[in-house]
Structure 1
Amino acid sequence: MTRFLLPLIVAAAVANAANANEAAKAAAPKGDPAKGQAIATTVCVACHAADGNSTGPANPKLAGQHAEYLLKQMKNFKGADGKQPERVNAVMNGMIAPYDEAQMRDLAAYFSMQQQKGEQAKNRETIEKGQKLYRAGDKSKGMAACAACHGPAGAGIPAQYPRIQGQYAEYIEAQLKAFRDGTRANDPAKMMRMIAIKMTDPEIKAVADYIAGLR
């Protein structure tokens, strides 16, 4: 059945991309990569590495991520008008606090231009299960396919859905669980929370491992 669903998923992703083109252009951060590099190589380097290819799964790979998504996350990490940040993380909330929006745009521009060094799927026993969930979801639970928004290869759609291909499996797993228990709640219209809440721990682990190997 998966082979029949995949063309529909691809078509949906293409349609989403076409509809998002104008919005993406309007929303695209027009930062200065050179200025962003100056910050990245002196501050961000400690956790994400100078080129955004972090060396450990506790910190996500930022290299090659859509600039729009990076900007949104940085803004979500930074509280405004004395309010709690939309995305709560003790480390990132403090790290991003000194930077204004122009500097965040510079960082987003810089990291988006870097080449990602992708991870690999490691669990052969769950690769088929992860692939099925990613490509077709689970109709019995009303769970949409990951590919419908993030694309068949996990490249995402700028200004709408992040690139997830090649990301650390452990980081993806942690974020899905955070969406599921509500400790991460900065997803528009609760899209990720509505999906993650329907997933078991083994399903999350399987799909996260599969995503790590996507190219």
Structure 2
Amino acid sequence: MIRITTLITAMALSVSVAQAEPSSLVAFDLDTLRMLKDADPARGEEIAKKEKCYKCHGDTGVSDDSEDVNIAGLMPSYAYKQMKDYKDKKRDSCDMFKKVRKLDEQQLADLAVYFADLPAAKPGPDKGLTPELYKLIYKGDPERLLKACVACHGRKGNGGQFNHPRINGQYKEYLVTTMTEFKEEGRSNDIYSRMRYVSEVLTEEEIEALASYYAVPDPE
């Protein structure tokens, strides 16, 4: 009965999302993939300096503030999508909108490949896994229609193709805030509502535990 009820809820969510505006205007078609493939990290570095990206994201794409995302080592396709979503106002941030509103798509792609080439934040010490956390990360939870974290983010949390970000290498505070935003519909640029559904059915304790597992130590 629980599984049927959960399935009905998920189907209802899918219907409502299908009738709403698209969560993102980015399509990873051949033209977009070619643009990312041909993007120039050297041009991206020049843009990063001009736009002063280091103020929030650090000189090497690793922030000095645990509230900010570490963008070094992100998949270019994911970083490009997020910047395009900010520009299209599909993801909310006044600061980021001001930074990217005058940049064209090629410039966004150049920025994305530049930061992708930078070394990601070094992970902290190995963390122990409780049986409950192991199940969430590697097995998922069919009763709640939860896919395993590794299915999208990779076995080490280093990210997957297109719009699956690196979560290994982020600060705990940022990860908790992000999942909470998805949970409370404060962020809605995830394609097919995948993270909104995942975060909605996760408990606050599970969000904290997952964030702690994947997080790097806070900046000193």
Please tell me the residue identity of whatever aligns with 1:28. Answer: L
1:153 aligns with 2:186: no
What is the CA–CA distance in structure 1 between the aligned matches of 2:157 and 2:185, rounded to whole Å?
Answer: 23
What is the CA–CA distance in structure 2 between the aligned matches of 1:122 and 1:52, rounded to whole Å?
Answer: 23
Does structure 2 retain, via aligned residues, the 8 Å contact 1:64–1:116? yes
Among 31, 45, 48, the alignment partner of 1:37 is 45
Q: 1:25 to 1:35 in 2, by over 3 A?
A: closer
TM-score after normalising by structure 2: 0.76
Paired position in structure 1 for 2:146: 143
Among 9, 31, 36, the alignment partner of 1:28 is 36
Does structure 2 retain, via aligned residues, the 8 Å contact 1:179–1:192? yes
Shift of 1:76: 0.1
1:172 aligns with 2:181: no
Residue deviations 1:168-193, cap 9 Å, x none? 12111111111111110000111111
Among 113, 121, 125, the alignment partner of 2:117 is 113
Shift of 1:118: 2.7
Paired position in structure 2 for 1:97: 101
What is the CA–CA distance in structure 2 between the aligned matches of 1:29 and 1:178, rounded to whole Å?
Answer: 31
Please tell me the residue identity of whatever aligns with 1:177. Answer: T
What is the CA–CA distance in structure 2 between the aligned matches of 1:25 and 1:94, rounded to whole Å?
Answer: 25
Paired position in structure 2 for 1:62: 71
Q: 1:179 to 1:65 in 2, by over 3 A?
A: same
1:184 aligns with 2:194: no
Please tell me the residue identity of whatever aligns with 2:93. Answer: N
Does structure 2 retain, via aligned residues, the 8 Å contact 1:29–1:108? no
Percent identical: 33
What is the CA–CA distance in structure 2 between the aligned matches of 1:41 and 1:50, rounded to whole Å?
Answer: 9
Shift of 1:27: 6.7
What number of residue pairs does the alignment pair up? 186
Counterpart secondary structure, 2:155: coil
What is the CA–CA distance in structure 2 between the aligned matches of 1:159 and 1:27, rounded to whole Å?
Answer: 13
Please tell me the residue identity of whatever aligns with 1:70. Answer: A
Paired position in structure 1 for 2:62: 53
Among 87, 91, 98, the alignment partner of 2:91 is 87
Return 5+ residue gaps in structure 1 as ranges.
Answer: 1-19, 80-84
Paired position in structure 1 for 2:21: none
Q: 1:119 to 1:109 in 2, by over 3 A?
A: same
Q: 1:183 to 1:67 in 2, by over 3 A?
A: same
Shift of 1:61: 0.6
Return 5+ residue gaps in structure 2 as ranges.
Answer: 1-27
After the TM superposition, which of the residue ranges 111-120 and 181-190 deviates more from structure 2? 111-120
What is the CA–CA distance in structure 2 between the aligned matches of 1:93 and 1:130, rounded to whole Å?
Answer: 36
Residue deviations 1:103-146, cap 9 Å, x none? 1111101000000123437986xx42434322222333222211
TM-score after normalising by structure 1: 0.78
Residue deviations 1:21-79, cap 9 Å, x none? x9995573522111111222341010001221111221111111010111100000003
